[in-house]
Amino acid sequence: MEVKKNGFASKIGFILAGAGSAIGLGNLWSFPYKVYANGGAAFVVAYILSILLIGLVAMVAELYIGRRASANTVTSYSKINKKLGWVGLLVVLIPFLITCYYVVLGGWTLKFAVNSIPVLGGGDNVSIFGEFISDPVQTVVFGLIFLGLAVAIIMGGVKAGIEKMSKILMPMLFVIIIFIAIYCLCLGEGVSDGLAFYLMPDFNKLGLDGVIAAMGQAFYSMSLGMGIMVSYGSYTGKEIKLGQSAMMIAIFDTCVALIAGLGIFSAIGALSPEILANNTIEAGPTLMFVILPQVFADMGVFGYVISFLFFAMVAIAAVTSVISLLEVVSQYVIQRFKINRKKASLIIGLIMFAISIPIAWSVGGAFDGAIKVAGYDLLTLFDEATNTVLMPIGAFISCMAVGWFIDKNITPNPMATLSTLKADGLELNPTISMIFSVMVKYVTPALILLVEIAGLIGKFTDADYISMGGYIYPVIVGGLMVVASIVIFYAYLKNKTLGTNADEEIIDKTTA
Ligand code: PHE
């Protein structure tokens, strides 16, 4: 069998795959809501600054960690410093958990896309949400189809799977979102009210909370702190410039988020102004699965088309994010257990599917809402544990690792760090690389720490969480993962050869 050399074949393929990971549900449903809730354009300013000060720096750091080792995350972090392999293990566990619940959400988006087609689902998505998420069969079936698509792409490998599909799906997503946004902007009266609602700058509404929310969003949206960029970086050769690519990914990511908000709020303003008047926009799934179907229904016949395109686009955004999560886990399993890619992704997919079933059942009213842990549905529990607790830890350590712990080069002098990075082939323009080494050493880790601490304080004092029994459970889940990865790493993995990307070709050859 002819063995392909694994890795990204082109710069644009890599950028689109990175953008595919970055652009996800966070852009399409969290971002527009957060802008509206936190002072409009004022939030956008804070968000762009966060991308520059935190997102880009952490992204380059993670890409570099992977590029330097050309290996799975555990090997990559241990090659930065022998003591850091447990971080690599942690960042394999995080995407593992996230995928289990992300496929549930992905399944919902697929259901809404299919249901938008009159002959397939009746075309009516208004008020089906509550019933659908309580249906124990449908939620699982749609989740399985969604996960199946992602596994199929991963099986194809980095070049023929991830890169090729990103090159097809991402341009599709861009075309659809621009088309929908233009359509919504042309809906006539009310559009400007909707836009004013979305973007009217209000720095009083932003506040410290808003700034923290902007930083957290920047971070989540750039897919940081969970090994994704380490893994994708490990598949790049020197011809792909990491700084430039990270910049392009950030630009795509931010534009899609902004455009999504333009479309959503124009449509709400033009078609459902009562929502603005009553100020009844809620965060999370309600905006996407309850309010927007109502807005689409008000569009008349063309509403079916827009609704289908919209949910298909959301499903595309979700699937390209899930493949990046799956790749982190697959890459590790392939290299650690020396099994081929197809087998690895199938096994991982099956395990994730099994775990996703109780998660799907714990949301909504399936089995009379019996499946809950400490009052939480599992989706919220996993989501909080990973987003608020674990991802900042992953990104913080990534920056610290690059800034301070490359081999034994522990020096507070950014210039020394700079020369290590240069010697390692991290090519940035000279001024930028100086700024980068100061940022990665001091500024970005400090800001991430702030997000983590402020985020935790906020959650601990949040009335909703207090009434549910407290925020302590997500913290326990997160804490257990940190401890487990430290223990497993030292007990079993410390002295093991954990493999590199080159192994995959050998495994392919021997199993061909
Ligand atoms: N960046 C994705 C988004 O904005 C979210 C994501 C999180 C993707 C975790 C992969 C992993 O929705």
442-460: pLDDT as tens digits? 999 999 999 889 888 988 8
**Measured from the CB, is residue 321 less than 6 Å from ligand 1?**
yes
Quick one: average pLDDT of 291-318?
92
H or E element, residue 501: none
- Nearest ligand 1 atom to alpha carbon 24: 12
Does pLDDT of 493 surpass 60?
yes
Most confident among 260-269, 278-287, 361-370 (mean pLDDT): 260-269
Taken in order 371, 373, 374, 380, the sign of the CA dihedral is: negative
Place 4 in a pLDDT band, splitting at 50, 70 and 90.
very low
Least confidently predicted of 355-359, 394-398, 472-476? 472-476
pLDDT tens-digit readout, 478-489: 999 999 999 999
Per-residue model confidence (pLDDT) at position 465: 78
Per-residue model confidence (pLDDT) at position 168: 97
Phi, psi angles (nearest 5°) of residue 353: -60, -45
What is the C-alpha separation between 484 and 506, in angstroms, rounded? 31
Residue-wise burial string across 15-42, b where 16 or more C-beta atoms lie within 10 A, e elsewhere: bbbbbbbbbbbbbbbbbbbbbbbbbbeb
Per-residue model confidence (pLDDT) at position 3: 32
Of all protein residues, the one whose alpha carbon is nearest to atom 8 of ligand 1 is 321
Of all protein residues, the one whose alpha carbon is nearest to atom 6 of ligand 1 is 223
Listed residue (303, 238, 338) closest to 8, CA to CA: 238
**Measured from the CB, is residue 21 less than 6 Å from ligand 1?**
yes
Two structure tokens written together for 397: 């350590």
What is the C-alpha separation between 512 and 491, in angstroms, rounded? 34
What is the C-alpha separation between 480 and 485, in angstroms, rounded? 8
Domain 11-511 has CATH 1.20.1740.10: yes
Per-residue model confidence (pLDDT) at position 410: 63
Taken in order 411, 416, 417, 421, the sign of the CA dihedral is: negative
Least confidently predicted of 5-9, 24-28, 287-291, 365-369? 365-369
Angle (nearest 5°) at CA 321 between 132 and 325: 105
What is the percentage of the chain residues whose pLDDT exceeds 70? 97
Quick one: average pLDDT of 462-471?
78
Of all protein residues, the one whose alpha carbon is nearest to atom 9 of ligand 1 is 223
What is the C-alpha separation between 24 and 220, in angstroms, rounded? 10
Cα 106 to ligand 1 centre (Å): 12
Cα 325 to ligand 1 centre (Å): 9
Cα 22 to ligand 1 centre (Å): 6
**Measured from the CB, is residue 30 less than 6 Å from ligand 1?**
no
Quick one: average pLDDT of 34-44?
92
What is the percentage of the chain residues whose pLDDT exceeds 90? 65
**Measured from the CB, is residue 214 less than 6 Å from ligand 1?**
no
pLDDT tens-digit readout, 353-379: 999 999 999 987 777 766 777 778 888
Of all protein residues, the one whose alpha carbon is nearest to atom 11 of ligand 1 is 223
Count H helices and E strands in the chain, helices first: 29, 0
Of all protein residues, the one whose alpha carbon is nearest to atom 7 of ligand 1 is 223
How does the average pLDDT of the chain come out, rounded?
A: 90
Two structure tokens written together for 180: 């929908």
- The answer to whether 501 and 235 have CB atoms below 8 angstroms apart is yes
**Measured from the CB, is residue 59 less than 6 Å from ligand 1?**
no
User: Which sequence spans correspond to the domains of the chain?
Assistant: 11-511
- The answer to whether 509 and 1 have CB atoms below 8 angstroms apart is yes
**Measured from the CB, is residue 98 less than 6 Å from ligand 1?**
yes
**Measured from the CB, is residue 18 less than 6 Å from ligand 1?**
no
Least confidently predicted of 299-308, 345-354, 415-424? 415-424
Q: How far is CA 398 from the centre of its chain?
A: 17
Cα 336 to ligand 1 centre (Å): 25
Phi, psi angles (nearest 5°) of residue 373: -120, 120
Within a 13 Å sphere around the CA of 39, how many CA atoms are in the beta-carbon half? 19
- The answer to whether 180 and 309 have CB atoms below 8 angstroms apart is yes
Q: Which of 220, 231, 288 to mutate to test the pocket of ligand 1 (most atoms within 8 A of CB)?
A: 220
Residue-wise burial string across 353-378, b where 16 or more C-beta atoms lie within 10 A, e elsewhere: bebbbebbbbbbebeeeebeeeebbb
Place 5 in a pLDDT band, splitting at 50, 70 and 90.
low
**Measured from the CB, is residue 24 less than 6 Å from ligand 1?**
yes
Q: Which of 232, 321, 324 to mutate to test the pocket of ligand 1 (most atoms within 8 A of CB)?
A: 321
- Quote the pTM value: 0.94
H or E element, residue 335: helix 302-337
Per-residue model confidence (pLDDT) at position 324: 98
- Nearest ligand 1 atom to alpha carbon 220: 1
**Measured from the CB, is residue 254 less than 6 Å from ligand 1?**
no
- Nearest ligand 1 atom to alpha carbon 318: 12
Quick one: average pLDDT of 274-298?
83
What is the C-alpha separation between 99 and 490, in angstroms, rounded? 26
Least confidently predicted of 163-172, 300-309, 392-401, 403-412? 403-412
User: Residue 94 class from Cβ within 10 Å (0-12 exposed, 13-18 middle, 19+ buried)?
Assistant: buried
- Taking residue 348's Cβ as centre, other Cβ atoms within 10 Å add up to 20
- Nearest ligand 1 atom to alpha carbon 386: 9
Cα 58 to ligand 1 centre (Å): 15
Cα 431 to ligand 1 centre (Å): 30
